[in-house]
Structure 1
Amino acid sequence: MQIINIHHPYQTDDIYPDDIVLVLGFFDGIHRGHQEVINKGIKIAKERGIKCAVMTFNRHPAFVYRRFDPDTHTYLTPLDRKEDIMRRLGVDILYEVDFTARFGNLPPQQFVDDYIVGWHAKVVVAGFDYTYGKADKANMKTLPDYAKNRFEIVTVEKKEFQNDKISSTRIRRYISEGKVAEANELLGYLYEISGFVIHGDARGRELGYPTANIYPHPYIMVPKRGIYAVKLKVNNEWIDGMASIGYNPTFGHRPSYSIEVHLFNFKEDIYGEDVRVKWVDYLRDEIKFNSADELIQRLEQDELESKEILSNVTLNKLDY
C-alpha cells in the first residue's frame, strides 16, 4: 500500500497520476460499517482495473473545530494502526490529509474540485453520513450538485447490529463501560491499545503475579478501570494474559492509574519494548481487598477465567 501525505494546498506532483476509486471517511476504529464502505471501494476498483484510494485525516476534525479535551479527544485507531488495517483490507493508496483550519474551511465546491476531481476519482464511495465542510450544506445528498456528473457516486447505507447502528460513538461507549467484548463484535476484530513497557512498583512480582506495566499511546482510548482477559504482542508473538487498569486500592492511594499485564507462562525481560494489548473480555471491577492473601486468591480465580476465555479466541487477519 502506498501512503501519500497531503498538506493543503497540495502540489500536483503529490497526487497519484492515474484514475482511482476514492473512498472517503475518517474511519476511526475501522469498524464493520467502515469495512463495508472500504470493501465496496476495493471491489469497484478491481472490477474497473484501477487503484482503490482512501482519503483520511492525520487527526480528528474535532481537534481543529473544538477546544482540546484530553479526556474525550482520543482515538480508537491511531494513525499507525489505521494504516496497518487499511493495508490488510487491501487498500492500494492511503491519502493522509493534514486536517488544518485552512483545509477544514474549504468551500464544498473547492473540496470536490481539488480533492476529488483533482485526484482523478472516477468513482467516489462513502457512508451515508459522510460530510465535508458544513454538514447541513455538504453531505452525500448534496454531493451530486457539486460533482456535476464528473464522477460516479456510491453511497453505502448504515450497517446495524442488534437493531442499532454500528458507529464509533457506540463502540466508544462500550469501551468506556468496560464492555470490550461488545465493542469487539462491532469492530470485527479485537480492540487494542499500543504502548511500551515501563518500570512499576514491582508489587505483582511480590505477590507471585509479575506484570508488564504499559505506558499507552497518549491519544488512544483506554477501557474503564477493571480486570480483563487480554492478549499482548511483544517480539512478534501474541501471549495470553490478564490485565488490570486502576489504582491498586488494596495497597493504598496512588496518584494515577496504571495498566498492568500479567502474562501466562512468560518470564522474559521486556522493559522498553513496544507492545500491543488486545482487550478480549471484562472480568470484574477493581476491588479493594482486605489483605494480600485475599487478593492472591482472587487473582488465581481471574487467571482461570482468563485462560478459559482466551482458549476460545481466534485472531483474524485484522488482528495481526
Structure 2
Amino acid sequence: MNVISIHHPYEAADIPTDDVVLVLGFFDGVHRGHQEVIAAGKQAAAQKGLKLAVMTFNHHPSIVFQKVDPDAMKYLSNVDRKIAIMESLGVDYLYVIEFTSAFAGLSPQRFVDEYMVGLHAKVVVAGFDYTYGPAAIADMLHLPAYARGRFEIIEVAKQNDLGKKISSTNIRHMMSEGDMENANHFLGYVYETSGTVVHGDARGRTLGFPTANIASEANVLLPKKGVYVVEINIADRWYHGMAQIGYNITFGANRRETVEVYILDFSEDIYGEFVTIRWHHFLRPEVKFDGAAGLIEQLQLDEQHTRDYFSKNN
C-alpha cells in the first residue's frame, strides 16, 4: 500500500496517475460500518479494473472548526493504526490529508474538483452521512451536481447492529462503560492500543504480581478505568495477561494514571519494548483496599478469572 501525505495545496506531480475508486471518510476506528464502505469500493475497483484509494485526515476536523486542543483529542485509531488496518483491507493508495484552515476553507465545488477529480477518481464511494463542507449544501444528495458526470457515485447505507448504528460514537460509549465485547463486535476486531514499557514504582513485584508499566501512545482512547482481560504482544508474540487502567489508589491519592499489565507465566525483562495490548473483557472497576493483603487476594481472583476467560475463549 502506498501512503501519500498531502498538504493543501498539492502539486499534481504528488498524485499517482492511476485512475481509482476513491473511498471517503474520517474512519476513526475503521469499524464494521467503515469496512462496509471500503468493501463497496473494493468491489467496484475489482469490477472496473481500477486501483482502490482511500482518503482520510491526519486529525479530526474539530481541531480546526471548533478549535479543540489537539492534545485533548483521543482517537480509536491514530494514523499509524489506520494505515495497518487499511493495508489489511487491500487498499492500494491511502491519502492522508493534513486538515488545515486552508483545506477547511475549500468550497464544496473546489473540494470535488481538487480532491475527487484531481485524485483521478472514476468512482467515489462514501457513507450516507458523509459531508465535504456545510451539511446543508455538501452532503451526498448534492454530490451529483458537483460531480457533473465526471465520476460514478456509490452511497453506502447506514449499518446497524444490536438495534444501534455502527458508529465511532457508539463504540466510544461502549468503551466508556467497559463493554469491550460489544465495542469489539462493532469494530470487527479486538481493540488495540500500543506503547512503550517504562519503569514504574515496582510495587507489583513486591506483591507477587510484577507488571509492565506501559506509556501509551498519545491521543489514543483508553477504555474505562478498571481491570481487564488482555493480550499483550511482545516481539511479535502474544501473551495472556490482565491489565489495570487507573491510579493505584490503594497506595495514596493524587497519583498519575497508569496502564499496567501483569503477564501470565512470564518473567522476562522487557523495559524499552514497544508493545501492543488487545482489550478483551472488563473484570472490575478499580477499588481502594485497606492494605496490601486485600489487594493481593483480589489480584489472585483476577488472575483466576483471566485464566478462566482464555480457557473458555480460545
TM range (shorter): over 0.9
Question: 2:143 corresponds to which letter in structure 1?
Answer: L
Question: 2:58 corresponds to which letter in structure 1?
Answer: N
Does 1:148 find its partner at 2:158? Answer: no
Match of 2:269 in 1: 269
Q: Cα 1:70–1:228, aligned 2, differ >3 Å: closer, same or farther?
A: farther
Distance in 2, Cα, partners of 1:255 & 1:68: 26
1:88-237 correspondence runs (5 A): 88-237=88-237
Match of 1:317 in 2: none
RMSD value over aligned CA atoms? 1.3
Report the Cα offset of residue 71 of structure 1: 8.1
Residue aligned with 1:281, SS: strand
What do residues 188-223 of structure 1 show as CA deviations (whole Å, max 9, x unaligned)?
Answer: 101111111111111110000000001111101111
What do residues 137-188 of structure 1 show as CA deviations (whole Å, max 9, x unaligned)?
Answer: 1011110110011110000001101111010011111112222222111001
Question: 1:90 corresponds to which letter in structure 2?
Answer: G
Does 1:304 find its partner at 2:310? Answer: no
The more displaced of 157-166 and 287-296 is 287-296
Distance in 1, Cα, partners of 2:295 & 2:46: 56
The question of whether the paired residues in 2 share the 8 Å contact of 1:248 and 1:254 is answered with: no
Does 1:2 find its partner at 2:18? Answer: no
What do residues 252-299 of structure 1 show as CA deviations (whole Å, max 9, x unaligned)?
Answer: 224311110000011111111111111101000111112211111111
Q: How many residues align?
A: 314
Q: Cα 1:313–1:116, aligned 2, differ >3 Å: closer, same or farther?
A: farther
Match of 1:293 in 2: 293
Percent identical residues: 54
Q: After TM superposition, where is structure 1 displaced by more than 6 Å over at least 4 residues in a row?
A: none
Q: TM-score, normalised by structure 1?
A: 0.95
The question of whether the paired residues in 2 share the 8 Å contact of 1:19 and 1:121 is answered with: yes
What do residues 98-152 of structure 1 show as CA deviations (whole Å, max 9, x unaligned)?
Answer: 1111111100000001111111111000000100111221011110110011110
Match of 1:60 in 2: 60
What do residues 45-85 of structure 1 show as CA deviations (whole Å, max 9, x unaligned)?
Answer: 01111100001111111111113246852110010010000
Does 1:282 find its partner at 2:282? Answer: yes
Q: Which runs of 5+ in 1 are unaligned?
A: 315-320
The question of whether the paired residues in 1 share the 8 Å contact of 2:53 and 2:93 is answered with: yes
Q: Which runs of 5+ in 2 are unaligned?
A: none
Distance in 2, Cα, partners of 1:70 & 1:123: 33
Q: TM-score, normalised by structure 2?
A: 0.97
Question: 1:112 corresponds to which letter in structure 2?
Answer: V
Residue aligned with 2:174, SS: helix
